[in-house]
Structure 1
């Protein structure tokens, strides 16, 4: 009964979304694909007709959805008269979650320690498509407690974490990301020239840290260093940000040195054995 109620509520919500004009054919297809995965998870295996009945669509539509998911390895046909079940591609996607959770868990005490030491906000960010997303945060005693970056998607070209993450992408990946993201001007100090940004990224690789001076927000400066996993690859960036009148350019090298110690400690917790 609860499954039917959930299905009814879900249909009502989707109908409301369409009524408000917020849906499109593409969004509807995504919604249906997710529903297929939910149906297979609940049933353990369903045929095309059963999926079509649950979705209230024609069998040809259900077949196209299942075929697209099968191409991605998210569903597969079993030997039970062609019924579909969840595929191993689901495990591939889910395996990324423990890694992210492990990253945050291993970083947390060191972020708190660094925030107390420096007195400013400390963030841990990972790259997500064309953004840096902050997945953990620690506020120092001098930090403005009303300001939080947790969960925010921030531009790669205008943030210290973003620059570090960009710097450690290979050239082809970097080109692809920046082609999509661009380098929009956010403040008068934002770097909008690709050649100027490339020079900063090369400098970040040489120095081991990247900094920004009021490039994302007026009055906000920041510095970031990389975090590596057991393979040596950069999986995150740890940063310190604070008001421009406190976190001044002359302090950056000193703050970066403390950050590099914390970044190395987090990296070792993730299995990195290098210096």
Structure 2
């Protein structure tokens, strides 16, 4: 009977566990510095619950790779330029549509209504992906559709994510046309509503874009904390009343946060 192969020292379970622990600790150090801005060896060791020498070795290793750097005057550490090099490679490799797709499908399956992913293009919200729920009345394909920013929930979320200067430019160019009797056409009223959108983290539209259609949307953020898109769920007004449906608002907000996390967003961004 053949003898079982012996694991070499590097591949032994103990060494593998120690390696995983070291990676975990190194990431924790980076998270502490990202949150605090800068920190000394003793403070990092205390927060991590490790010996000062352990924290010192971790910082030395990260410093060697350019992930952290030490301020020579205060002796404290901060994130290094190596982090920037890694971060700058993220946006080009992430596809918003690809990362959002499973979240859109889950939300559509849960609420059985149409879920859209939209981005800002010029003066419009452009739907770049869609997941249909089983209760969808018509097989409308919104992908590629240009929808007005001031009259749709996605559009209002995207407008709320802009600077006041950029919003004003869009309002002047589009002139807020009335699409239904419920469309907001006053700049002052729109600005007031956008403040609520920013404060609440979502926008609700009831028959402002199309009679018989209601929707709710939330923002999607990138790794810099900028709004790069919106997720909306819509349905016929006779059955889809977002503010009266238990759990809907929180579930849609969670969907936006899940996609944002996939795009590198952190609440500390």
Q: Fold match, TM over 0.5? A: yes
Query: 1:198 aligned to 2:191?
Result: yes
Partner of 1:31: none
CA separation of 1:220/1:228 partners in 2, compared to 1, >3 Å: closer, same or farther? Answer: same
For the 8 Å contact 1:209–1:223, the answer to whether it is kept is yes
SS of the counterpart of 1:137? strand
- Structure 2: gaps of 5 or more residues: 1-90
Larger Rg: 2
Q: What is the CA–CA distance in structure 1 between the aligned matches of 2:245 and 2:160, rounded to whole Å?
A: 18
Q: Deviations over 1:221-256 (max 9, x none)?
A: 000000001111100000001000111254367322
Partner of 2:157: 164
CA separation of 1:177/1:242 partners in 2, compared to 1, >3 Å: closer, same or farther? Answer: same
Partner of 1:262: 255
Q: Tell me by how many angstroms 1:148 deviates.
A: 2.0
Partner of 2:217: 224
Partner of 2:230: 237
Partner of 1:251: 244
- Structure 1: gaps of 5 or more residues: 1-97
RMSD: 1.7
Q: Tell me by how many angstroms 1:101 deviates.
A: 7.2
Q: What is the CA–CA distance in structure 1 between the aligned matches of 2:93 and 2:149, rounded to whole Å?
A: 19
For the 8 Å contact 2:242–2:248, the answer to whether it is kept is no
Q: How many residues align?
A: 178
Partner of 1:207: 200
For the 8 Å contact 1:188–1:215, the answer to whether it is kept is yes
- Equivalences for residues 121-136 of structure 1 within 5 A: 121-136=114-129
SS of the counterpart of 1:157? coil
The counterpart of 2:171, out of the listed 164, 175, 178, is 178
Q: Tell me by how many angstroms 1:214 deviates.
A: 0.2
Q: What is the CA–CA distance in structure 2 between the aligned matches of 1:266 and 1:219, rounded to whole Å?
A: 29
Scaled by the length of structure 1, the TM-score of the pair is: 0.62
Partner of 1:26: none
Q: What is the CA–CA distance in structure 1 between the aligned matches of 2:248 and 2:174, rounded to whole Å?
A: 29
Scaled by the length of structure 2, the TM-score of the pair is: 0.63
- Equivalences for residues 1-275 of structure 1 within 5 A: 102-248=95-241, 250-251=243-244, 254-274=247-267
Q: Tell me by how many angstroms 1:144 deviates.
A: 2.4
Q: What is the CA–CA distance in structure 1 between the aligned matches of 2:154 and 2:232, rounded to whole Å?
A: 6
For the 8 Å contact 1:139–1:145, the answer to whether it is kept is no
Runs of 4+ in 1 over 4 A off after TM superposition: 98-101
